[in-house]
Structure 1
Amino acid sequence: MKTNTATIKTYNPFNGNHLETYTVNSKSDLQEKLAFADTTFKTWKQVEITKRFELLQNLANEIFKNKSELSQLITKEMGKPILESEAEIEKCNFLIDFYIKNAVQFLQDDIIKTDAHESFISYDPLGCILAIMPWNYPFWQVFRFAIPTLTAGNVALLKHASNVTGCALAIEKLFKDAGFPEGCFQTLITDHDAIENLMEDEVVKAVSLTGSEKAGRKIAELAGKNLKSSLLELGGNNACIILKDADLDAHIDTIVSARMQNSGQSCIAAKRFIVVEEIYDDFIQKFISKTEHLKYGNPTDKDTTISCLAREDLAETLEKQVEKSIKLGAKVVIGNKRDGAYYHPTVITDVTPEMPIFKEETFGPVAAVIKVKSEDEAYKTASNSTFGLGTMVFTKDYKRASKQISKIEDGAFFINSMVKSDPRLPFGGTKNSGFGRELSKEGMLAFVNKKTVYINQ
């Protein structure tokens, strides 16, 4: 008797070609992986940190050795221009190097003087951590979770986005080839229906999700129901404030990149451009000029600077957000054309707060431009969002802008630079953009037991 075996198929979004077909893990497969993770954790947590560093260096070597192949895989599965895929792979090694150099300091006991003979805080790993990751940075977002989490002594299970299943398996292979113990990092090929069962299993101690607000609410609900900690990095609607004294000639490339990088598919991209009226016309002219020079083409070509979105349905969603905004009075300056999964770079003006392109996350190359009368109005408009990942401000008076830091509720505040993630700095959001922090010391301590130790003679 034949049984139906569930599969996942991946496709190249640029040409629609079928890439691979993968068999979905059965319930028994998932149980075996959970048991394997639990067994591995018992020994992995005892491994000396110097040995973990050796494995991390091996991992960096494997990434460097396979950079071209891995970059091509990213580009084939989600359409990222190849130069950006290469930069993503390189950034993973920057991350590894950072934790090799700093993990000892981050994890060492924190001595606290009390009435005790000796008292301190120790940082012990929790166990098996489930990671649910998105497709837009298929290596970087996994590594920024996995490297600090495993280095702290935990083990990891990865549920990656199905359209980058090849990347998920390639990441697992990198850890194996680097010499990490079997079961230290495992990829699960499954659908979202299995997540609830995984969260209920006692082997899973915590969950990290990078994804949409909707997904975040569901995972937070499951984590709360099962009394497990969670870290949520969700959507964003970042404001890019252009004050009247901004040096556009110096920063316009950065400003355009802040919206169009990764074909606009980034939670921390600049999505709302809030421009003071004195500089508005100059800004529009320069922004459009740079945008029109973006080169669309096959993402495997090194001169391609913008490509298709990762799936055609994503382009369709973006198209609907734009059309609804137009009906509410928005005006298209350039763009607003869709060819399959490719959405032409688009600049829209006369944007108001009730429009989808102002209040929702737009995941693609659409720049919503809002003219304001003053600096004060600019900051108030920027804060008018249910999201809170980051705000960027362009001005010559950085000291004046610095006075706004405490007034902006977001997880990041960048002056004369685009919001970006950096291993040396904590990364995360507020409000509907989630909670918890990745990267830096905070990311390493995200999934540890901060244990109070109190000793008297």
Structure 2
Amino acid sequence: RERTSYMVEIAEAALKPVMASNPKDGFRRYVKKVPLGLVMVIAPWNYPYLTAVNTIVPALMAGSAVILKHAAQTLLVGERFQQAFDKAGLPKGLFQNLVMSHAQTEKLLGSGKIDHVNFTGSVAGGRAIEKAAAGTFMTLGLELGGKDPAYVLADAKIDHAVANLVDGAFYNSGQCCCGIERVYVHEKVYDEFVEGFIAETRNYVVGNPLDQATTMGPMAQARFADLIREQKAEALRKGARAHIHMQVANDEPGSPYLAPEVLTEVD
């Protein structure tokens, strides 16, 4: 609601024509903003409302029609959007929630009927969308996963850096587009930072997210956790050091539960 209210507040100023900075007698120079047409939103499961709202609301306010294709794990979110817009009296067909397979999505993207697609997800997913849209001249908005680093300077406030980077790494069980995956630390504060990072990480309580004591729940799918297990094992084989060694119930291959770990000397 807060995000939507903000976009409504700034819409008039954001969408009005922009007058040229170099006016000339006899001419009216300006940039006029017009609707894109048909906008397709391919939304992710990890922040299913927030990420979808970021495109749906401004697209509708700018005069475009919207098709929402939500992630397979969060199909009910798409239905809730449809119910909300229907209840609000949005003209029929202006917003449509569609349930489609990857193959069906690629076919629609290649049809030439979509004017803009916005996707939040994996690099592989972004590549597939770019390939499917080739030759259609649609515009693309791709927010893809990365390998987000952080750097701790020599004059950093270590307590502040530790608290924020541990949270940045493990928030939502590490399943964030902007989650911290590696940290570079200045040699002058390296030992102090690592010691604090390890201590802060050991405070996590992994368990059922419905339990009040739990501060870290499982990953969304077992295959996600298995991938992290494989990455950890590879790093250890190549000489990395593990520091947490936390014992967590159900932390085993094929389970979405995974203990937090801190690795140093990773090559």
TM-score relative to the length of structure 2:
0.91
Query: By how many angstroms is 1:250 displaced?
Result: 3.1
Hey, what does 2:263 align to over in structure 1? 348
- 1:133 maps to which of 35, 40, 43: 43
CA distance in 2, matches of 1:298, 1:184: 40
- 1:274 maps to which of 184, 199, 204: 184
Given that 2:116 and 2:138 are in contact with CA atoms closer than 8 Å, whether structure 1 keeps it comes out as: yes
Given that 2:123 and 2:144 are in contact with CA atoms closer than 8 Å, whether structure 1 keeps it comes out as: yes
Query: By how many angstroms is 1:161 displaced?
Result: 1.2
CA separation of 1:289/1:178 partners in 2, compared to 1, >3 Å: closer, same or farther? farther
> Which secondary structure does the structure 2 equivalent of 1:351 belong to?
coil
Hey, what does 1:423 align to over in structure 2? none
Query: By how many angstroms is 1:232 displaced?
Result: 0.8
- 1:227 maps to which of 122, 133, 137: 137
> Which secondary structure does the structure 2 equivalent of 1:305 belong to?
coil
Identity of aligned residues (%): 31
Letter in 2 for 1:96: T
Query: By how many angstroms is 1:115 displaced?
Result: 4.9
Hey, what does 2:29 align to over in structure 1? 119
Given that 2:168 and 2:179 are in contact with CA atoms closer than 8 Å, whether structure 1 keeps it comes out as: yes
1:176-215 deviation line (CA, Å, top 9, x unaligned): 2233223222221111010222113343212111111111
TM-score relative to the length of structure 1:
0.54
CA distance in 1, matches of 2:68, 2:47: 14
Higher percent of residues as strand: 1
CA separation of 1:143/1:317 partners in 2, compared to 1, >3 Å: closer, same or farther? same
- 2:9 maps to which of 87, 95, 101: 101
1:291-310 deviation line (CA, Å, top 9, x unaligned): 11112232234443210000
CA distance in 2, matches of 1:301, 1:146: 34
Q: Which runs of 4+ in 1 moved over 6 A?
A: none
Hey, what does 1:306 align to over in structure 2? 216
Given that 2:75 and 2:99 are in contact with CA atoms closer than 8 Å, whether structure 1 keeps it comes out as: yes
CA separation of 1:241/1:142 partners in 2, compared to 1, >3 Å: closer, same or farther? same
CA distance in 1, matches of 2:173, 2:133: 33
Please, which runs of 5 or more residues in structure 2 have no aligned partner? none
- 1:215 maps to which of 105, 112, 125: 125
| 1:149 aligned onto 2:64 | no
CA distance in 2, matches of 1:250, 1:314: 29
1:391-420 deviation line (CA, Å, top 9, x unaligned): xxxxxxxxxxxxxxxxxxxxxxxxxxxxxx
CA separation of 1:239/1:296 partners in 2, compared to 1, >3 Å: closer, same or farther? same
> Which secondary structure does the structure 2 equivalent of 1:237 belong to?
coil
Letter in 2 for 1:145: T
Given that 2:110 and 2:134 are in contact with CA atoms closer than 8 Å, whether structure 1 keeps it comes out as: no
> Which secondary structure does the structure 2 equivalent of 1:225 belong to?
coil
1:96-118 deviation line (CA, Å, top 9, x unaligned): 12112111000001122235432
Query: By how many angstroms is 1:216 displaced?
Result: 0.9
1:372-405 deviation line (CA, Å, top 9, x unaligned): xxxxxxxxxxxxxxxxxxxxxxxxxxxxxxxxxx
Please, which runs of 5 or more residues in structure 1 have no aligned partner? 1-92, 353-457
CA distance in 2, matches of 1:123, 1:331: 54
Hey, what does 2:115 align to over in structure 1? 205
User: Paired residues, what number?
Assistant: 260
Given that 1:111 and 1:121 are in contact with CA atoms closer than 8 Å, whether structure 2 keeps it comes out as: yes
Given that 2:151 and 2:183 are in contact with CA atoms closer than 8 Å, whether structure 1 keeps it comes out as: yes
1:85-137 deviation line (CA, Å, top 9, x unaligned): xxxxxxxx221121121110000011222354322111110111111121111
Hey, what does 2:168 align to over in structure 1? 258
